């Protein structure tokens, strides 16, 4: 293999990500109208909310996604206090979706297999601390049961070599994060953190779930 061939092979993945970065700016905000009475809510935590939010913004049937904080007891928190790891909150996303177009179970599949690594305990990639934990916050018993079933199926299929450590807890309070965190990936597609950690998630979504990707 020549030196030029090696260089091309190394550059191709990054070129793909930069092309994807150019695309997500235009595709970031859903344009299709959804009947408001049809929408349901899902809340997931899977590390830094920038990448998780971006993944679900590109899922068909999702009407809106917000980055925020949940899982703690304090009534009012912000990025600085949550980042300290002392509030009990996790960076999370609240997803409003139309179950006629995408099911809660499908969202779970995307969450576990694309949006993050559910085998990492109190961390996700370069981000360490309980505020980056893996968690599903369910709204009702149906969501709780479906989450347990999906986790069991992933375990039986030996999808991961390590056990899933995702926390399962009832949704009690969700606080929307500061405005500058919303739609972060689409607004900063060439930021090095985004290119390394989050754009690959969108590429995985496109490859693994082409029927859901928009």
Q: What was the pLDDT predicted at 23?
A: 58
Percent of the chain whose pLDDT exceeds 90: 81
Query: Residue 18 belongs to a domain with what CATH number?
Result: 3.30.1060.10
In a domain, 21, yes or no: yes
148-164: b (≥16 Cβ within 10 Å) or e: eebbeebeeeeeeeeeb
Say what the pTM is. Answer: 0.86
Q: Is 213 among the domain residues?
A: no
Distance CA 150, CA 155 (A): 9
Residue 50, number of CB atoms within 10 A of its CB: 23
| 158/151 Cα distance (integer angstroms) | 11
At residue 37, the pLDDT reads: 80
Residue 214 included in any domain: no
Burial class from Cβ neighbours inside 10 Å (0-12, 13-18, 19+) for residue 100 reads exposed
pLDDT at position 21, please? 54
Question: Is 160 within the bounds of a domain?
Answer: yes
Q: How many C-beta atoms surround the C-beta of residue 22 within 10 A?
A: 11
Structure confidence at residue 7 (pLDDT):
40
Total domains, the chain: 1
- Residue 185 is part of which domain span? 3-208
Query: Among residues 17, 43, 45, 48, which one is catalytic?
Result: 48
Q: Is 48 a catalytic residue?
A: yes
Any domain includes 98: yes
Tens digit of pLDDT for each residue in 48-95?
999 999 999 999 999 999 999 999 988 899 999 999 999 999 999 999
Reading the block at residue 62, the tokens are: 């999702």
Q: Which residues of the chain carry a pLDDT beneath 70?
A: 1-33, 36
Residue 126 lies in a domain: yes
pLDDT of residue 127: 98
Among 135, 109, 137, CA closest to 124: 135
Q: Determine, yes or no, domain membership for 155.
A: yes
């Amino acid at each position: 293999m020549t030196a030029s061939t090696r260089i091309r092979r190394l550059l191709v993945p990054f070129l793909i990500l930069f092309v994807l970065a150019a695309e997500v700016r235009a595709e970031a905000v859903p344009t299709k109208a959804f009947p408001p009475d049809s929408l349901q809510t899902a809340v997931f935590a899977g590390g830094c909310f920038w990448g998780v939010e971006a993944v679900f913004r590109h899922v068909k049937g999702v009407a809106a996604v917000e980055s925020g904080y949940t899982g703690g007891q304090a009534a009012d928190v912000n990025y600085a206090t949550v980042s300290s790891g002392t509030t009990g909150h996790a960076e999370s996303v609240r997803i409003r979706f139309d179950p006629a177009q995408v099911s809660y179970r499908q969202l779970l599949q995307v969450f576990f297999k694309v949006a993050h690594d559910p085998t990492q305990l109190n961390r996700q990639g370069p981000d360490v601390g309980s505020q980056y934990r893996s968690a599903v916050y369910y709204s009702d018993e149906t969501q709780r049961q479906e989450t347990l079933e999906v986790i069991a199926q992933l375990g039986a299929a030996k999808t991961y070599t390590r056990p899933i450590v995702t926390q399962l807890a009832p949704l009690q309070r969700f606080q929307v994060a500061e405005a500058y965190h919303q739609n972060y990936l689409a607004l900063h597609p060439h930021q090095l953190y985004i290119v390394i950690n989050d754009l690959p998630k969108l590429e995985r979504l496109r490859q693994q779930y082409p029927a859901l990707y928009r």
